[in-house]
Amino acid sequence: MALSKAESEYLYKNSIERMRLKLWTTFMLAAISPIFAQWNPNPAVNSPVATGITDDLQAITGPSGRTYVAMFQPTSSGYSPRLQILNDLGSPRLGPNGMQFNTTTSMGTSTVTWDMRLDANEHVYLGFTGTGNTDAVVHRLDSMGNHVWNTSGIALGQGYDVKLLPLAGGDLMVGWLDANGGGAKLRKISAAGSFAWPAAVTISSPTGSGQVNVGEMMEYSNGDVLVIYYVRLGFGPSGLPYAQRYTSSGTAVWLQPKALTSGWYVYSFLRFPLVQRGDTAYFGMSAAQGSDLQAKVQRINPLGGLPWGLNGVDVSTLNNQYERSLTMGLAPDDFMLYVAAEVTPLSQGQMGTILQKIHARTGATPWGSAGRMLFNPSAKDQSPRGDLGFIDSKPVVLYNDGFNNGGTPVRLLAAFLDTAGAIIDTVPMGTSATAKGRVHLSGTSGFNATAVWTEDRGSGSLAFAHRINRTPCPGVSAGAGWSSVLDSARIWFTGAGADSLYWTLGDGSSASSLPGDTLRHAYGANGSYTAWVYAYRTCGSVDSASFTVMISGIGIGESQAQLLEISPNPSRGTLMLRGGDVGHALLVNAQGQVVAEIRNWTAGEGWVLPEGLANGIYSVVGDQLRTLVVVQR
Question: 444 near 65, Cβ under 8 Å?
Answer: no
pLDDT band at 18; cut points 50, 70, 90: very low
Q: Residue 407's pLDDT band (boundaries 50, 70, 90)?
A: confident
What is the model's pLDDT at position 584?
Answer: 87
Q: What is the pTM of this model?
A: 0.76
All CATH 2.60.40.3080 domain ranges in the chain, comma separated: 557-633
pLDDT of amino acid 550:
86
How far is Cα 173 from Cα 191, in angstroms, rounded to an integer? Answer: 11
Q: In CATH, which of 2.60.40.3080, 2.60.120.380, 3.40.50.261, 3.20.20.80 is domain 557-633?
A: 2.60.40.3080
Give the pLDDT score at 6.
Answer: 38
The residue with greater pLDDT, 560 or 458, is: 458
Residue among 123, 126, 121 nearest 100 (CA): 126
Residue 456's pLDDT band (cuts 50, 70, 90)? very high
pLDDT tens figures, 513-567? 999 898 989 998 988 999 999 999 988 889 999 999 988 777 654 444 445 788 8
Q: How many CB atoms lie within 10 A of CB 457?
A: 14
Do strands 594-601 and 582-588 pair parallel, antiparallel, or not at all (unpaired)?
antiparallel
Which has the minimum average pLDDT: 332-336, 559-563, 599-603?
559-563
Mean pLDDT of 374-393: 93
Would you say residue 369 has pLDDT above 60?
A: yes
Report the run of H or E that residue 12 belongs to, with start and end: helix 5-32
pLDDT confidence of residue 38? 58
Buried b (16+ CB within 10 A) or exposed e, 412-432: bbbbbbeeebeeeeebebbbb
Pairwise pLDDT comparison (621 vs 47), residue with the higher score = 47
Residue 31 pLDDT: 36
Residue 272: how many other CB atoms lie within 10 Å: 20
What are the tens digits of pLDDT across the range 54-92? 999 999 999 999 999 999 999 999 999 999 999 999 999
pLDDT tens digits, 190-208: 999 999 999 999 999 998 8
pLDDT at 286: 95
8 A C-beta contact, residue 392 and residue 446: no
Based on the number of CB atoms within 10 Å of its own CB, is 564 exposed (0-12), middle (13-18) or buried (19 or more)? buried
Res 19: pLDDT: 41
Residue 35: pLDDT over 50: no
pLDDT greater than 90 at residue 628: no
In this predicted structure, the answer to whether residue 615 has a pLDDT above a threshold of 80 is: yes
Q: What's domain 1-36+471-555's superfamily in CATH? A: Immunoglobulins (2.60.40.10)
The amino acid present at 420, given as its one-letter code, is: A
- Which pairs with CB-CB distance under 8 Å and at least 24 residues apart come from 489-492? 489/519, 489/520, 489/521, 489/523, 489/549, 489/551, 490/518, 490/519, 490/520, 490/565, 491/518, 491/519, 491/520, 491/521, 491/531, 491/549, 492/517, 492/518, 492/519
Q: Is the pLDDT of residue 9 over 70?
A: no
421-426 mean pLDDT: 93
Q: What's residue 623's pLDDT?
A: 67
Rg of the chain over Cα atoms, rounded to whole angstroms, equals 34
pLDDT value at residue 565: 80
Give the pLDDT confidence score for residue 555 in this predicted structure: 60
Backbone angles phi, psi at 307, to 5 degrees: -70, -15
Query: Is the pLDDT reported for residue 10 higher than 90?
Result: no
**Beta strands 565-567; 574-578: pairing state:** antiparallel
**Residue 27 falls in which region: left (phi positive, over 0), alpha (psi -120 to 50) or beta:** alpha
Q: Please state, rounded to an integer, the average pLDDT across all residues of the chain.
A: 89
User: Coil, helix or strand for 181?
Assistant: coil
Cβ–Cβ under 8 Å, residues 335 and 393: no
Amino acid of residue 333: D
**pLDDT of 90-99, one tens digit each?**
999 999 999 9
Burial of 612 per CB tally in 10 Å (0-12, 13-18, 19+): exposed
Res. 150 pLDDT band, cuts 50 70 90: very high
Asked if residues 272 and 282 have their Cβ atoms less than 8 Å apart, the reply is no
Taking the C-alpha atoms of residue 289 and residue 264, their distance in angstroms, rounded to an integer, is: 5
Beta partners for 627? 620
Q: Count Cβ atoms within 10 A of the Cβ of residue 269 and give its class: 0-12 exposed, 13-18 middle, 19 or more buried.
A: middle
Banded model confidence at residue 624, pLDDT cuts 50, 70, 90: low
Average pLDDT, stretch 1-5?
37
| Cα 188 to chain centroid, rounded | 34
Residue range 583-594: mean pLDDT, rounded? 83
Tell me the longest C-alpha to C-alpha distance in the chain.
108
Secondary structure, 3-state, 499-535: CEEEEECCCCCEEEECCCCEEEEECCCCEEEEEEEEE
Range 155-158 contact pairs with CB under 8 angstroms and sequence separation of 24 or more:
156/127, 156/185, 156/187, 156/200, 158/133, 158/134
Residue-level pLDDT at 298: 98
User: In the chain, which residues fall in CATH 2.60.40.10?
Assistant: 1-36+471-555
Torsion of CA 186, 191, 195, 200, to 10 degrees: -10
Q: What's the confidence (pLDDT) of residue 236?
A: 84
CA–CA separation, 500 vs 485, rounded Å? 26
Predicted local confidence at residue 17, as pLDDT = 40
Can you give the pLDDT at residue 487? 77
**Taking Cα atoms as reference points, which of 619, 617, 626 lies closest to residue 561?**
626
Cα-based torsion angle of the residue sequence 504, 506, 509, 513 in order, rounded to the nearest 10 degrees: -30
406 Cβ neighbours under 8 A, 6+ residues apart: 435, 437
3-class SS of residue 18: helix
Residues of the chain with pLDDT > 70, as a percent, come to 92
Looking at residue 611, what DSSP letter applies?
A: T
- Determine the pLDDT at residue 471: 83
Cα separation, 566 vs 610, in Å, equals: 17
